Every structure is written in structure tokens, then in C-alpha cells.
């Protein structure tokens, strides 16, 4: 390929992206960043550059990050076995302390530093800052071997009761990129670990975001988890109930789907589950004709 042909290829990409850039300029996009994209240095830089490009063309990105793999690794180092119920981490006091250390002390500061190193204006927050997130202990019930429902104690796992987005609106209005750890305050000063997908969804609702992007370690929702070609490109509310009943939506996908449904009902324009293992997944979804992943239709 000649230099001229390469240049024309790049020009076509820019032309294809132009109507999407015009459409989303000035809009708020909430991005849940997690999974393998937080571990692989190449993918991490790809996400950072995508966020900076969105910001540079007039879109208002807000990043909510998880940290499951890193928390698992730290828990393993100290001899604590990770336990999950319906995709949620059981969080006792010691696990909560380690989760805070990893989320706030390591991952949040790393991402803010990367954004700033590449010319962005990242600001690190947790849900405890400026009363951004107020939560209560999340209730949970599961069927026992006799089919009877029993309470399950998730420990310091929180359920969001309110979001006060004033600090986010102030930062966005001054050109900053908020980067949020999924830790919330209780009404009496307790600290709660909240699922990052849920946090991203509730913040997207509070900001009336145009889009919510959930980066994960799968290509989207698969009708058959063993068949990558069974990707469901779009999904409606009725199909969510049906797929759950069929056992297709299980484990860590459940909080994402619940988050998507809640966000749409709360006024978010659209929700997309994307493969964060794919370089520049955010740009491919927002700025190309084809898009990727699974999009949740409005309800």
C-alpha cells in the first residue's frame, strides 16, 4: 500500500466518524472501565486514548472503574478466598479494607495519572466524595436445596439509595474528566463496596447521559457462551426477561443487564456492553457505522 493509499484510508475513517462526532458533541457518555482492559498495558493505554479523544471532540466522558482482577489478586496474596453470589463479591470487613486500598490507592490514581500524562485533566473521586453516592446494605435472597428462599449476607456490599451529581457537573463544566471508584458512604458513615456496573448506571441516570458503555471481557451477550458468533447485537426489555428465564444471563452478566435495564428506565439514551479486550472498543462503538457489542433498546 502506497503512502497516498494509506492517507486516503485514514481520511475515510475520519469522514465516517464526522457525523457521529457532530451528533455526540456536548453529550455526556459514562464509561464503566474494568476487566482485562485494566490489566493489559496496551489495552489500558487504548482506553485512555479513547477517553481523551472523546473529550477532545467535545464529548463529556465520565469514567467509573472496577478492579475485580486486582482485588482478587491482592486477596489471594493475603490468603483470603474470593466468594461471589449472583456476580457480587461477598465483602467482609477485611475484604472491604483491601478493596478500598486497591480501588482508591492504586487503580484510581493510576488512571488519573495516565490521563494527565497524555494531556487530559483527570480528577479522581470515590462515591464518598461530596456525598456522591449514599448506599445501604444490599439485601439478597437465594433458594436453598429445598427450594426455600433464605437471606444471604453479602457483608459490606451496598445498594445505592441516592446520587448527588453536583461535583460531577462542576468538574464537567470546567473541562475535567471525572474518574470514580465504586465505593459509597452509608448514612451513618459506613463504607460500602458497590458493583461498578451499578455505580456507572446510577451515575448515568443522575447525569441523564446520552450513552452508557460497559466494558467487559466478552464480546457482548451471547446466546450460546461457547459460540462467539451467537452475539445478540440488540436486545429489548422483553428479551431480557426471556433470556434470564432460559439461564442465558448468569453470573457476572446479571449485574450488567440489571444495570442496563435500570439505566434505560432512568432516562439514559442507550446502553452498550462492549468487549474491552478489543483495542479502541469505545471508538469503534461510537464513531463507526457498524458498532460492536450488544446494545439495549429503549423501553
DSSP-derived secondary structure for 9-41: HHHHHHHHHHHHHHHHTT-EEEEEE-GGGGT-H
Q: Is 62 contained in some domain?
A: yes
Q: Is 129 contained in some domain?
A: yes
Q: Is 4 contained in some domain?
A: no
Q: Is 12 contained in some domain?
A: no
Q: Is 96 contained in some domain?
A: yes
Q: Is 11 contained in some domain?
A: no
Q: Which CATH number goes with the domain that contains 226?
A: 3.40.1160.10
Predicted pLDDT of residue 242? 81
What's the start-to-end Cα distance of the chain, in Å? Answer: 47
**Which segments are annotated as binding site?**
67-68, 89, 193
CA distance 120 to 48: 9
> Which residues of the chain fall short of a pLDDT of 50?
none
Predicted pLDDT of residue 82? 79
> What range does the domain containing 151 cover?
27-296
Predicted pLDDT of residue 276? 85
Q: Is 63 contained in some domain?
A: yes
**Which segments are annotated as binding site for substrate?**
67-68, 89, 193
**What is the β-pairing status of strands 141-143 and 149-151?**
antiparallel
Amino acid at each position: 500500500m502506497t503512502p497516498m493509499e494509506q492517507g486516503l484510508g485514514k481520511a475515510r475513517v475520519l469522514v465516517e466518524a464526522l457525523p457521529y462526532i457532530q451528533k455526540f458533541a456536548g453529550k455526556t457518555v459514562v464509561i464503566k472501565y474494568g476487566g482485562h482492559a485494566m490489566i493489559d498495558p496496551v489495552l489500558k493505554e487504548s482506553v485512555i486514548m479513547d477517553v481523551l479523544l472523546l473529550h477532545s471532540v467535545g464529548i463529556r466522558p465520565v469514567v467509573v472503574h472496577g478492579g475485580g482482577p486486582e482485588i482478587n489478586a491482592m486477596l489471594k496474596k493475603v490468603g483470603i478466598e474470593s466468594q461471589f453470589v449472583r456476580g457480587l463479591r461477598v465483602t467482609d470487613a477485611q475484604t472491604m479494607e483491601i478493596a478500598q486500598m486497591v480501588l482508591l490507592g492504586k487503580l484510581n490514581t493510576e488512571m488519573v495519572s495516565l490521563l494527565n500524562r497524555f494531556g487530559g485533566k483527570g480528577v479522581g473521586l470515590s462515591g464518598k466524595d461530596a456525598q456522591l453516592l449514599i448506599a445501604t446494605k444490599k439485601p439478597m435472597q437465594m433458594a436453598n436445596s429445598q427450594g426455600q428462599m433464605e437471606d444471604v449476607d453479602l457483608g459490606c456490599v451496598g445498594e445505592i439509595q441516592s446520587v448527588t451529581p453536583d461535583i460531577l457537573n462542576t468538574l464537567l463544566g470546567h473541562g475535567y474528566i471525572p474518574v470514580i471508584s465504586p465505593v459509597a458512604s452509608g448514612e451513618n458513615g459506613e463504607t460500602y463496596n458497590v458493583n461498578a456496573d451499578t455505580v456507572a448506571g446510577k451515575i448515568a441516570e443522575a447525569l441523564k447521559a446520552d450513552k452508557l458503555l460497559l466494558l467487559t471481557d466478552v464480546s457482548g451477550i451471547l446466546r450460546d457462551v461457547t459460540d462467539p458468533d451467537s452475539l445478540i447485537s440488540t436486545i429489548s426489555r422483553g428479551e431480557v426477561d426471556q433470556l434470564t428465564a432460559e439461564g442465558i444471563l448468569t453470573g457476572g452478566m446479571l449485574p450488567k443487564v440489571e444495570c442496563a435495564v435500570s439505566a434505560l428506565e432512568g432516562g439514559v439514551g442507550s446502553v452498550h456492553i462492549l468487549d474491552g479486550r478489543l483495542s479502541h472498543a469505545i471508538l469503534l462503538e461510537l464513531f463507526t457505522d457498524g458498532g460492536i457489542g450488544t446494545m439495549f433498546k429503549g423501553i
